[in-house]
């Protein structure tokens, strides 16, 4: 039996990664078309290594956190390349996302409170016809 099901493998086919991460092969090809992935080729067939798999994980994490593929692409660039002043670029994006989420939260709270007020006033009213 294979002791390490946790893929300690070196090479992966597009279908392997798609299955492992629950995404479509179409999505993986799409990410490549956007420059987020650059798997090797054996002829025309894509061959993914651990490094590509690691990048895919980062892509999916970025998506989960609500970042655009564009932002994730920028992040990936400094991920392997020379990271230093560029790390600030990531921090900016994180701050942006944070601010966006906080704005949304504030708006939701405002709306929730308004609805609660309406409900309160309504319940104070005598039974109305309907």
Q: Does 38 bind DNA (CB under 7 A)?
A: no
User: In the numeric block, which tokens belong to residue 97?
Assistant: 């996302």
Q: How far apart are CA 54 and CA 37, in angstroms?
A: 10
Q: Does 27 bind DNA (CB under 7 A)?
A: yes
Q: Does 29 bind DNA (CB under 7 A)?
A: yes
Query: Among residues 5, 8, 38, 44, which is the contact residue for DNA, using CB under 7 A?
Result: 44
The burial class, CB within 10 Å (0-12 / 13-18 / 19+), for 84 is: exposed
Query: Among residues 7, 9, 15, 87, which is the contact residue for DNA, using CB under 7 A?
Result: 15
- 3-class secondary-structure state, position 23: coil
User: In the numeric block, which tokens belong to residue 104?
Assistant: 């949304």
Query: Among residues 26, 88, 103, 119, which is the contact residue for DNA, using CB under 7 A?
Result: 26
Q: Does 70 bind DNA (CB under 7 A)?
A: no
Tell me the sheet residues that pair with 32.
Answer: none
Q: Are 75 and 90 in contact (CB under 8 A)?
A: yes
Q: Does 30 bind DNA (CB under 7 A)?
A: yes
Q: Does 14 bind DNA (CB under 7 A)?
A: yes
Q: Does 13 bind DNA (CB under 7 A)?
A: yes
**Chain contacts with DNA (rule: CB under 7 A):** 13-16, 23-27, 29-30, 44-46, 63, 69
């Amino acid at each position: 039996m294979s002791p390490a099901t946790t893929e300690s493998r070196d090479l992966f086919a597009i279908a392997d990664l798609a299955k492992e991460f629950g995404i479509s092969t179409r999505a993986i090809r799409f990410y490549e078309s956007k420059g987020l992935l650059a798997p090797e080729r054996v002829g025309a067939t894509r061959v993914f290594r651990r490094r590509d798999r690691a990048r895919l994980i980062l892509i999916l994490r970025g998506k989960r956190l609500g970042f655009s593929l564009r932002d994730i692409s920028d992040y990936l660039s400094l991920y392997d390349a020379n990271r230093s002043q560029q790390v600030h670029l990531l921090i900016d994006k994180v701050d942006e996302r944070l601010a966006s989420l906080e704005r949304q939260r504030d708006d939701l709270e405002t709306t929730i409170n308004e609805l609660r007020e309406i409900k309160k006033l309504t319940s104070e009213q005598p039974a109305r016809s309907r």
